[in-house]
Structure 1
Amino acid sequence: MYLLLILLMLVSFGIQWRLRSKFKQYAQVGLKSNLSGAQVAELMLADHGITDVRIISTQGRLTDHYNPTDKTVNLSEGVYAERSAAAAAIAAHECGHAVQHATAYSMLQFRSAMVPALSAVSTWMPWILLAGVVMINRSLIPLGVGIALFSLTTLFSFVTLPVEFDASRRALAWMDKRGVVTAQEHAMAKDALWWAAMTYVVAAISSLATLLYYVSIFMGGNRRN
């Protein structure tokens, strides 16, 4: 199990490096349509009849996200202003989440409903797990509670996968229909979004592996007791 966790960590680092490399490469390819990321986002929202979502610029790199609480598409500074295949892909993907929200996409609703519970337990969960491991020869209850809480984060990681893949599917389909990208630019956008999705896949698998690691400790303690 230790080797699996280390392997997944190395794979995660590798995918993150590949993702940044891909976005850096595709950020240098100007869009034939000459649209900035912000303009792509505006068009996609307008085409879906969404008028209550704001598009704002945020600091950082690859910090782009959609916030369903305040209905904002947050684009990193580069994506907001760049006129590239990478910027278009990211902007359209985040707007894909806004479309999911507007159409009451079930998996996004499920994920959003989990956020308050995860926020409430995230601070205490690592300490509960640590206490459970330390106290395993005295009581299995703390570790059991920690495992139950950690299972919520693992479930959240897997619920995130269809949400992310669906947002990318919506983004690519819309860009093609709208003529935002050429065939070559579409291939770049699809490749960039695929690598972005792989970060979520590895995160979900890593979370599951960590959960199973704690379960194995729990089972071992149960046999000893």
Structure 2
Amino acid sequence: MFPFFFDSTFLLLLPALFLAIWAQMKVKGAFHRYSQVASRRNLTAGQAARILLDRFGLSGVPVGMVPGELTDHYDPRAKSLSLSQSVYNSTSIAAIGVAAHEVGHAVQDLKAYAPLRLRNAIVPVANIGSGLAFPLFFIGLIMRAPALMNVGILVFLGVVVFHLVTLPVEFDASSKALRLLGETQILAPDEIGGARAVLNAAALTYVAATVMAAAQLLRLVLLRGMVGGRDD
């Protein structure tokens, strides 16, 4: 077998890696394209977010601006919505679509959407797992300690579960966003397609992350099996 960092199981990661690269290209391309198209109502993304939040009685949820690009997020602990600098003051279809997506998360929080609550609950486990799983596993591999490898696999399983739970959360937020933009006429019917293209491209990045996590888990399991086969 090749050394563990160049072993043949690494080939399992290549399709997921290519998918991740393609997804990033898609989201950047879609956002760039529709960030050049101003919405007819000329509302900024910050204003659109405020209108949508108020529609659900979420006037207490502030809409702030954070540095960075595509750093937009809703914080369920602080009950606050943050838009990136490139989104907050923009009147583009892309920016409004992103803002509406984050409002979708706020609405999920308001309605106690079960997948969102589950994701929030396992965030600490996923954070710990992403930092510890591989060191534990590969130390176990080097030391030929199957028990330590098993711990690494179990810890990383939490990361995979987090990614799986994230998918319905993100898809539902986008679905809510597009529906709300149409209902409030913040975007005209012929503008909704642009917002949909941006949000669909963004969803691909979550799919790619899930596929990569699953491929990593499969790789760890296969490596564990090889070690177990030699020890038997």
Fold match by TM threshold 0.5: yes
Partner of 1:144: 150
Partner of 2:222: 216
Match of 1:164 among 170, 173, 186: 170
Partner of 1:46: 54
1:117 & 1:45 partners in 2: Cα distance? 30
| Equivalent residue pairs, number | 223
SS in 2 for 1:33: coil
* Structure 2 gaps, min length 5: 1-8
Match of 1:20 among 24, 28, 37: 28
Match of 1:131 among 125, 139, 156: 139
Q: Which amino acid aligns with 1:143?
A: M
SS in 2 for 1:74: strand
What TM-score does the superposition give when structure 1 sets the normalisation length? 0.95
Partner of 1:100: 108
SS in 2 for 1:56: strand
1:189 & 1:170 partners in 2: Cα distance? 12
SS in 1 for 2:81: strand
| 2 and 122 in structure 1: CA distance in 2 versus 1, 3 angstrom threshold | closer
2:155 & 2:60 partners in 1: Cα distance? 35
SS in 2 for 1:124: helix
Partner of 1:118: 126
Match of 1:7 among 15, 34, 51: 15
Offset of 1:157 from its aligned partner? 0.3
Q: Which amino acid aligns with 1:57?
A: M
2:217 & 2:129 partners in 1: Cα distance? 16
Report if aligned partners of 2:170, 2:203 keep a CA contact under 8 Å in 1.
yes
Q: RMSD across aligned C-alpha pairs, in angstroms?
A: 1.2
1:96 & 1:169 partners in 2: Cα distance? 8
Partner of 1:88: 96
Offset of 1:223 from its aligned partner? 1.7
Report if aligned partners of 2:129, 2:158 keep a CA contact under 8 Å in 1.
no
Partner of 1:181: 187
Partner of 2:6: none
Report if aligned partners of 2:125, 2:159 keep a CA contact under 8 Å in 1.
no
* Structure 1 gaps, min length 5: none
Deviates more, 1:51-60 or 1:202-211: 51-60
Deviations 1:181-201 (A, max 9, x none): 112210000011000000000
1:189 & 1:4 partners in 2: Cα distance? 34
Deviations 1:15-40 (A, max 9, x none): 10121111011011010111100011
| 204 and 121 in structure 1: CA distance in 2 versus 1, 3 angstrom threshold | closer
2:184 & 2:135 partners in 1: Cα distance? 50
Partner of 1:62: 70
Deviations 1:149-201 (A, max 9, x none): 00000010010000000000000000000001112210000011000000000
